[in-house]
Amino acid sequence: QVQPVESGGGLVQAGDSLRLSCEASVRTLRNYVVGWFRQAPGKEREFVANFRSTDGSSDYADSVKGRFTISRDIAENRVYLQMNSLKPEDTAVYYCATGLLMRRELLRRRSSYMYWGQGTQVTVSA
């Protein structure tokens, strides 16, 4: 399994949009999940969203629900995180992660993911 690679971070103003990209090769896996987490300075890494391969379903943290959307591009072997109506509290390093599919509630835990990218910085100014 190749480590995921994130891109698309940057500095934006509140209310702006940004799209993050995760290149995650999981072709050899039967059932897998691709997740997005974020970590702000001085805080623990927290769940943002994930995508499950079996049914194409997604899950979102309450803090981003309605603003963020996760999607998949099979041809390009990528998973995207579209972030709209960004707020200063969204400022963090965003990480893409991959792991084996398991129960929905467990996929909100970072310990359920085995492969992590290096992260991409998202900064939202007021």
The pLDDT value given to residue 78: 87
As a residue count, the chain comes to 126
Residues with Cβ < 8 Å from 26, sequence gap 6 or more? 1, 32, 34, 53, 98
The pLDDT value given to residue 75: 75
| Conformation bin of residue 11: beta by default, left when phi > 0, alpha when psi is -120 to 50 | beta
Closest CA to 70 of 94, 91, 92, 88: 94
Torsional sign, CA 74, 76, 79, 85: negative
Q: What whole-number percentage of the chain has pLDDT above 70?
A: 95
**Structure tokens of 97?**
């992660």
pLDDT tens digit string along 11-70? Answer: 999 999 999 999 987 665 667 899 999 999 999 999 999 998 888 899 999 999 999 999
pLDDT tens digit string along 75-126? Answer: 778 899 999 999 999 999 999 999 888 888 899 999 999 999 999 999 999 9
The pLDDT value given to residue 29: 60
